[in-house]
Structure 1
Amino acid sequence: MCVFSFPARRLFAAVFALACATAQAQNWPAEDWTSRVAPPSAALSALEAYAFPARDDATRTGVRTDALLVVRDGQVVYERYAAPTTAATPHLTWSMAKSVLATTLGVAYGQGRFRLDAPVADFYPPFAAHPQVKVGHLLNWASGLDWQEDYEYAPLKSSVVAMLYTRGRGDMAAFTAAHPADAEPGARFRYSSGDSNVLAAALKNMVGAEAYADYPWSALFEPLGIQSAVWEQDASGTFVGSSYVYMSARDMARIGLLMQREGRWRDQQVLPKAWVEFNRTPFANYQPQADKPDAAVPGGQWWLNAAVAGAGRPWPDAPVDTLAALGHWGQGLYVLASEDLLVVRYADDRDGSFEHNQLLKLVIAAFADEVQP
């Protein structure tokens, strides 16, 4: 038992009071966000010219932003939408869903429902064929399974297309579990929507079948005030953790604020700080690809702007602590903690012309140096 002297107790009380005062001084969204819209500027015009250029939608080429939301110090400083998307639209997030899944799992982790070094098969019996794969391996996309994450450009050999649309769509986790291994678990990174859907299936046994259908809402969405979320399930009743979360930009920003503030929402520690730290830690065996300089570094189902294995940062004009949830066709949630900025972008980019670094560079130029009241 620890016994504090009177001066020590006074010091502890003072530190605790300071922490509480700091928490209260921060801006938090209530039922809706408060807004403090930034005034027009040349830097803001440059951002809009990049994010919302004139475009011929018939060709589906060039940057096409559906929503762009910027939050600074817990307040909306910029917001713009392109029809038919509005502030109330639950937009398809594609693989941003993986980071939403990781955040949901973080609540379960804090409740003691699993360990990172626990075998996946403890929670998802069909994975018994892969007894060495741990939960942490799946979170790093390092299961070692033979998986091809090709999309519409190579559909015939694509594991993910088969999982989402053809023979695997009835039970996506079981489809993934049936794949053979081609590497030791944890030995290499291979991006896999299948790994994410096995995690979503494992969550069912972590929290119990009865609680599972409502768990993302009771554990995460409702405490954060998220009201727009839609999360599709496959025919087996498993959340499609890889791809099928729909959420408004304003609600997605709440998840960003939770991560920016190390898992805390007002006076509640929704996520353990250790979980946020895990999300922010680069996968140890990741090797950058020379032909993909803009590729972010994998963390725990989030993406990082880290310099690893002798390579430079993927987004050199963004802070090193930038954390992102990314999705197909240009979806993104960017958490720039050191700049006190959050960015949500929904989009329909089809030709690969969009650049994360360019967007973040322009956002920082427009908002990072803004004087706070």
Structure 2
Amino acid sequence: MKAWLLILIMAAGAARAEGWPIPDWQVDKRDVDWQAVDAYVFPPRTASARSGIRSDALLIIRDGHIVHERYAAPTTASTAHLTWSVSKSVLATVLGVAQAEGRFQLKDAAARFYSPMQAHPDVRLVDLLHWASGLDWQEDYEYAPLKSSVVAMLYTRGHTDMASYTAAHAAVAKPGERFLYSSGDSNVLAAALRGMLDPGAYADYPWQALFTPLGIGNAVWERDGSGTFVGSSYLYLTARDLARIGLLMQREGRWADRQLLPASWVTFNRTLFSQAQAIPGEANPGGHWWLNQPRKGSAVPWPDAPTDTYAALGHLGQALYVLPKQKLVIVRYADDRDGSYSHNELLKRVLAALAKEGA
């Protein structure tokens, strides 16, 4: 990321007072040319298109103010959109509140809170948060449906109890020693959260702990047949409500005058998991969030974005990006039909548009 571009963006926002969406987002009507951003994110869409970029929403927040917002019908500002695996990072945020309440420590065994994991007594909560349980898993969706663990968990033999289905898998590596992206790991975490709480408290906990304090009123989080939240996949939020979670993270866990998340938890979320193998062009895992930090000997995943950028990412192009130094939060909802969408390209265009405003 060019230093001059970052300096221009930071200077442009330096005089802006800190804003909070309490109760609603304020809109910053400064003149920014978003044409290049919109041209990339919202190309012409046809009903018959089976490939290409298909965006449903784009929301850009700078220092707590909306600076750009656009939707493609039928999605609107009031649509609670399926977030897919963005749900995982929101689950991690809920767990951050639980940790602040003293309900667990990262090195606690998962089996302490979820008894089926007694079959894997060495798996710790931190391993699950790194997608490093060591349990056998196949995450493919469209490309290998008959062999896919995640398809079976969500739709067939595992859907009545997703965490139990995951816990029944064999171990193929020692916990904490290998990154293997797994929606199953996330759903074991959702079940472990249940074991941390008093009986009857689980159903309301994400609202009590996170959504209500942030002013999120329209969240829907589906549960499996056992009553456990599908922490991997099935959270629905409006773009504006997801941006509230991004703002909480961007401001180190602080919400107005309350430290809702420990700053140490935010640091953990955005600390690179050292055992993960770099994949060119793809973000690297932190604590259930995705990081733009390069691994040793590898390139920055998104070269035109700051290296401290991190994100919650989901199937079909869902994304929540946080750029801490630029005080930016970006939400994108989508129905992408192929792999043509580039995180780097969107971030590059947003930063360029904001730099021109400050020029």
State TM-score, norm by structure 1. Answer: 0.90
Deviation track 1:11-54 (CA, whole Å, cap 9, x = no partner) reads xxxxxxxxxxx9x951111121000134252xx21111100111
Determine which of 133, 145, 150 is the counterpart of 1:155: 145
User: Who is 2:233 aligned against?
Assistant: 243
Hey, what's the Cα distance between the residues in 2 that align with 1:299 and 1:89? 29
User: Who is 2:20 aligned against?
Assistant: 28
Structure 1 unaligned regions, length at least 5: 1-21
Hey, what's the Cα distance between the residues in 1 that align with 2:93 and 2:199? 19
Question: In the alignment, does 2:337 pair up with 1:350?
Answer: yes
Hey, what's the Cα distance between the residues in 1 that align with 2:224 and 2:251? 33
Deviation track 1:120-157 (CA, whole Å, cap 9, x = no partner) reads 00000000000000000000000000000010221010
The amino acid that maps onto 1:335 is V
Hey, what's the Cα distance between the residues in 1 that align with 2:90 and 2:154? 18
RMSD: 1.5
Deviation track 1:192-230 (CA, whole Å, cap 9, x = no partner) reads 000000000000011223111000000000000011110
Q: CA deviation at 1:368?
A: 4.7
User: Who is 2:126 aligned against?
Assistant: 136
Match of 1:213, SS?
A: helix
Contact 2:32 2:354 in 1 (8 A): no
Hey, what's the Cα distance between the residues in 1 that align with 2:137 and 2:337? 23
Hey, what's the Cα distance between the residues in 2 that align with 1:342 and 1:369? 18
Match of 2:27, SS?
A: coil
Aligned pairs for 1:272-291 within 5 A: 272-289=262-279
Give the number of the structure whose alpha-carbon radius of gyration is greater: 1
Change (3 A) 1:97 1:59: same
User: Who is 1:187 aligned against?
Assistant: 177
The amino acid that maps onto 1:324 is A
Higher normalized contact order (CA 8 Å, seq sep 6+, divided by chain length): 2
The amino acid that maps onto 1:29 is P
Contact 2:32 2:353 in 1 (8 A): no
Change (3 A) 1:91 1:110: same
Hey, what's the Cα distance between the residues in 1 that align with 2:282 and 2:294? 11
Hey, what's the Cα distance between the residues in 2 that align with 1:309 and 1:58? 44
User: Who is 2:71 aligned against?
Assistant: 81
Aligned pairs for 1:116-127 within 5 A: 116-127=106-117
Change (3 A) 1:183 1:36: same
- Give the percent of matched residue pairs that are identical in Structure 1 and Structure 2: 65
Structure 2 unaligned regions, length at least 5: 1-13
Contact 2:311 2:321 in 1 (8 A): yes
Match of 2:57, SS?
A: strand
Match of 1:210, SS?
A: coil
